[in-house]
A and B are shown apart, each in its own frame.
Chain A
Amino acid sequence: MTTIEASPAGTESAARAGTALRPHAEQTYAAELKALAEVDDRTRPPGWKLSPWAVTRYLLGATLDDGTEITPKYIGSRRVVEVAVATLATDRALLLIGVPGTAKTWLSEHLAAAIAGDSTLLVQGTAGTSEEAVRYGWNYARLLAEGPSEAALVPSPVMTAMARGSIGRIEELTRMPSDVQDGLITVLSEKALPVAELGIEVQAQRGFNIIATANDRDRGVNDLSSALRRRFNTVVLPVPDSAEDEVRIVTQRVEQLGRSLELPEVPTSLTEIQRVVTVFRELRSGVTEDNGTKLKSPSGTLSTAEAISVITNGIALAAHFGDGILRPADVAAGIQGAVVQDRVADGVVWREYLETVAREREGWTDFYRACREVGA
């Protein structure tokens, strides 16, 4: 029996977090996690940094007794978060499913950060993901020089997570080839990963678990085998219920992004955010908010994530080229880019929307003109 000790996120990497383009969740919210851990007096499952109760508070936001403000990470259904946390607490693997941009990755990162304090053990699923990415690979130079040995073994993030009793994350599980997916079955059922070449196995330490995400739109690409599926609890992430929730999500993320990208301070105008969210929601649902007019829906998803990027983009435009205030013209190009994925079909959808909805709406004249200019 042996264990593979990969170097944990050391101090030097923590030092670099300050300059990183996108710090990990556990780095950005280190203070909140610490404050929560201090007041958290409930039972923690073995290997967990926080109790499940504290994890939900971390994700949904709260004000602690000592006055520390925990920002909400996931805005939306409380049940979704609770089911996700409870799943991980029963040492079942968690599968998050949803249309693109419903915060699957976001939620999985924060879950890992809160439970294990480490969200970096990540495997990205692609058509080219090989078995080494979920099991282990070899350092071939060493393998040739010394023969099979533990030193020549290159553990995958999953293997590392097992050894450390941490959370392994798998993104876009359904994009992986089926045979690679099935490599996870042993890991999830036996909680052990045999290394046949060395005659050893890595046993998962307490606290180990897997969070996988999969895309709704990719259903049927590489559907999970039922053997694998059975080992996951599935949580479907919905698109935000109300326009208000969505505006909140967008506002909050835009602020955070702006800060980390150090964009010049632009007063984020709530009207612009509301407008973008409204356009997205209306096109997504195929009917106007007042339920009065039917609309065509474009081929794209128009997720909340895209709304966020439209606004961030607009802010960058306003800061660098505009007058420092987010104006309709700054979001016009972005919004058109997000809506019109297919030039012909979506172009018609977008023009129809502009002419039938945007044109007549009160206070939307500037927006309408700006969009027309972009389109011309």
Chain B
Amino acid sequence: MGSSRTDTSKVSVLGVRHHGPGSARAVVAALDEIEPDLVLIEGPPEADALTSLVGGLEPPVALLVHLADTPKAKGKDAERDAEAAEAARRRSTDGWAFWPFASFSPEWAALRHAHENGVPVRFCDLPASHTLAERLAAAETTDGEEEEQEETEPPRERIDPLGVLAAAAGYDDAERWWDDVVEQRGDGEPSPFPAIADAMAAVRAEAGPATGREARREAHMRQTLRAALRQGHERIAVVCGAWHAPALRDLADYKVKDDVALLKGLPKVKTAATWVPWTHGRLASAGGYGAGVTSPGWYHHLFTAPDRPVHRWLTEAARLLREEGQQVSSSHVIEGVRLAETLSVLRGRPLAGLDEVSEAVTAVLCEGEGTRAALVHGRMAIGERLGSVPPETPMVPLQRDLIAEQKRLRLKPEAFERDLDLDLRKESHRARSVLLHRLRLLGVEWGIPTPHGGGGRGTFRESWRLRWHPEMDVALIEAARWGTTVSSAAVARTVEIAEAAELPTLTKLTEQCLFADLGEALPEVLARLTDRAATDADITHLMSALPPLARSTRYGDVRGTDGGHLRSVAREILTRVRIGLVGAVRGLDDDAAGRFVQAIDETNGAATLLGDDLTEWLDTLADLAVRENVPGRIAGRVNRILTDAGRVDAEELRRRLGLVMSPGVEPTRAVAWLEGFLQGSGLILVHDDRLLGLIDTWLLGLSEERFVAILPLLRRTFGAFGGGERQEIGTAVTRLDTGGGTRVRERRPVDERRAAPAVAAVLGLLERSGA
């Protein structure tokens, strides 16, 4: 391999820290000097074709590499279905990778520099097709169990080289050391890269040779570099993580044969690459790149501020605080700058860093108010922003459609949380709501419905909380297999969900179809619904399916969709419920009866809402009410519903209550009946003294033993009422005791002396309100 030994002089290796503003400045300066004819950057080679787009991108952006083909598995047998679903799950969790770039990333600086000077750019890292294939294979064989081990591998290879160097320089914090030595450099200082590579070489010598994935990555980088040399490039600049710098600089020390062997027979999958917008918030939490930064806002500031970063930062903080309504004068800022600078001198740092300025914000600008300082600091240190990509970026059709929709509806994706209130009576608002609902069906939770705020209750209002996460682009790409537009994809997705769904899911889906205005999917879903309703033996399923359907019928009216079909399905289900009801209530224990009572209540509400078959429904209940063997709670509840609906008159009700309260009936059944009857409201007792009298007599007639036995149940019944209600019932009972409802209760004589102060106070109040 003697031939390759000669040409290392043509290569300049720039070892950087990912997302380091000082590195970025130094890279730009170095590139200006080298004037390379080729730039190699650590990144997936799949993205080579995308470098022409750099001019139109606005950072933060990320390179997204994802699995290219997403075949729609249409297996008939269940096993293959399950397999396909499992594969789909794996692709959505492991089938993609991001390489984020911020404005202050050295890689980005190199990309921009090359773009502006018309220099070709190539990415030299191990292709993502291998990385993803490995990851998928690992997920498949171990399926999560040993995934942790996979996770722990990368940290091991980075034995924190910076930590070692920082400790050697007497720093306890590696980040801070790097910041001081490299990131906070001004312009015009000599290139730091030879020194960085030397330092890393020293650390690597101690750590031993690279192994595993890292060795393969470096082998690939070297192979790319060799290929470039063979093509006759004269001045090649390589921008890579500082850790890799020695492995590329000392190209001649590695044998081509070994590198080829390392890269032989790697698994491979088909991938596609594109640019997606990214956010500072995502940069802050390390995501896939292994090199997150804690304060992208500060780095962005360091990189973009032309001079005096500390002055500008504190001025900005003062402006923010003023917006928050705090008085911050220019003299605060002056003193803040002085404190930050003195602190940096005291700590022996070349320039005030984020620590110093945040302390200055706390001690001077916020006058010691820690919470306010933390607020300002948090906002500025992250400096939330969302990048953008030009329209010609490769996108799946679904993404393009969404962008068109967003433009049409003037709904901009933002990295902040924003509340959106919609009035569905307005055409444009309804269209937005429809879009958000459709996206939710596709698994893109851009908007999350929130409960109505304030007084605006009504079916025509909707509240959303919007926030765009970069991962949603992945979700969109995933969803691309269902269709090319948001609307068609949502329809296809809904139909697919409906195929395997249970009854309650189906009814919910029906509702969602209406929200999302998916008229095309509705017949399919309803057909499934009728099928399921016919075969589902569990009547509680049917009962729980009914309320959303009934609501849907109403929404259908509000949203102008045709509710006819919906209504007929709902009626059909109601009929099935009616038929099955009597058989279903037999032999339920107390808990089950309690749940059933709730189901009956909800069904009753739904039947009332539907209106059509209410009479038949009430007939069924009337039949149920007089049957034996029905659990007491249910019987009581049904009687109450009938009374409220006017189907049982007062006289009949008293007769029925009397029957239940007669000595022959077990007291526990009687009290359960009572509980069902009084559930929700006991005011009926206040208004009907004779009912109350019946209960009163019954209670008084019980033997002590039995009374004690039913006491807990009794307590449960009456304890559920509000204080006012209980008091009213109590008053009614005293009224009974003093003999007959008609006689006016005797009043206790008023002690005028004791009442005098209260009277005076009331008079005072009245006078005041009168005046």
Contact = CB atoms under 8 A, between A and B. Distances in A.
Interface string A111-132: 0000000000000000000000
A90 B331 contact: no
A230 B343 contact: no
Contacts of B364: 92, 233-234
A332 interface: no
Interface stretch (A79-87, A167-175, A240-248): A79-87
A22 interface: no
B327 interface: yes
B343 A235 contact: no
B367 A234 contact: yes
Contacts, number: 58
A92 B338 contact: yes
A236 B342 contact: no
Contacts of B342: 52, 86-87, 89-90
B196 to A, nearest CB: 29
B376 to A, nearest CB: 15
Contacts of A7: none
Contact of A97 (B331, B347, B368): B368
Chain A at the B interface: SS class = helix
B329 interface: yes
Given A90-B338, A90-B339, A233-B363, A95 B346 contact: no
B363 A234 contact: yes
Contact of B368 (A56, A92, A226, A236): A236
Interface in B745-767: none
A53 interface: yes
A265 to B, nearest CB: 38
B291 to A, nearest CB: 26
A142 interface: no
B335 A92 contact: yes
B343 A82 contact: yes
B368 A230 contact: no
B370 interface: yes
Contacts of B327: 226
Contacts of A85: 346
B332 interface: yes
Contact of B359 (A56, A79, A90): A79
A236 B359 CA distance: 11
Interface string A50-61: 001100100000
Given A86-B339, A90-B338, A90-B339, A235 B346 contact: no
Contacts of B346: 52-53, 56, 82, 85-86, 89
Given A230-B332, A235-B368, A87 B347 contact: no
Interface string A229-267: 110111110000000000000000000000000000000
A41 to B, nearest CB: 14
A83 B367 contact: no
B359 A230 contact: no
Contacts of B331: 230
Interface residues of A, number: 22
B335 A82 contact: no
Interface string B242-284: 0000000000000000000000000000000000000000000
Q: Which of B359, B362, B363, B370 has the most CB of A within 10 A?
A: B363
A53 B347 CA distance: 8
A54 to B, nearest CB: 10
A229 B366 CA distance: 11
B354 to A, nearest CB: 13
Interface in A74-111: 79, 82-83, 85-87, 89-90, 92, 95, 97
B610 to A, nearest CB: 50
A184 to B, nearest CB: 16
Contacts of A56: 346
A300 B61 CA distance: 54
A370 B363 CA distance: 45
Interface in B325-365: 327, 329, 331-332, 335, 338-339, 342-343, 345-348, 355, 359, 362-364
B370 A233 contact: no
Nearest to B344: A86
A56 B347 CA distance: 10
Contacts of A87: 339, 342, 363
Contact of B339 (A79, A92, A226, A230): A92
Interface string A189-232: 00000000000000000000000000000000000001001101
Nearest to B358: A79
Given A79-B359, A235-B368, A236-B370, A86 B343 contact: yes
Q: Which of B332, B355, B359 has the most CB of A within 10 A?
A: B359
Contacts of A97: 368
A255 B368 CA distance: 33
B359 A83 contact: yes
A52 B339 CA distance: 13
A234 B355 CA distance: 16
B318 to A, nearest CB: 13
A85 B339 CA distance: 10
Contacts of A90: 335, 338-339, 342
Contacts of A92: 335, 338-339, 364
A83 B359 CA distance: 7
A103 to B, nearest CB: 16
A226 B328 CA distance: 11
A95 B339 contact: no
A79 B363 CA distance: 11
A232 B363 CA distance: 9
Contacts of A226: 327
Contacts of B370: 236
A230 B329 contact: yes
A132 B53 CA distance: 74
Interface in B717-740: none
B343 A83 contact: yes
A246 B335 CA distance: 33
A83 B363 contact: yes
A283 B329 CA distance: 41
Contacts of B359: 79, 82-83
Given A52-B342, A90-B339, A92-B339, A235 B347 contact: no
B32 to A, nearest CB: 38
A233 B343 contact: no
Contacts of B338: 90, 92
A230 B333 CA distance: 11
Contacts of A236: 362, 368, 370
Nearest to A216: B368
Nearest to B366: A234
B328 to A, nearest CB: 10
Nearest to A233: B363
Nearest to A43: B345
A52 B345 CA distance: 9
Given A83-B363, A87-B363, A233 B335 contact: yes
A89 B327 CA distance: 25
Contacts of A53: 346, 348
A92 B347 CA distance: 18
Contacts of A230: 329, 331-332, 367
A235 B339 CA distance: 12
A86 B345 CA distance: 9
Contacts of B368: 95, 97, 234-236
Nearest to A214: B368
B215 to A, nearest CB: 41
Given A52-B342, A56-B346, A89-B346, A229 B335 contact: no
Given A52-B345, A85-B346, A92-B364, 12 more contacts: A53-B346, A79-B359, A83-B339, A87-B339, A87-B363, A89-B342, A89-B346, A92-B335, A230-B329, A230-B367, A233-B363, A234-B367
5 contacts: A82-B346, A87-B339, A90-B335, A234-B362, A236-B362
Interface of A: 52-53, 56, 79, 82-83, 85-87, 89-90, 92, 95, 97, 226, 229-230, 232-236
Which 5 pairs between the two chains have the least Cβ-Cβ distance? A234-B368, A86-B342, A86-B343, A90-B338, A233-B363
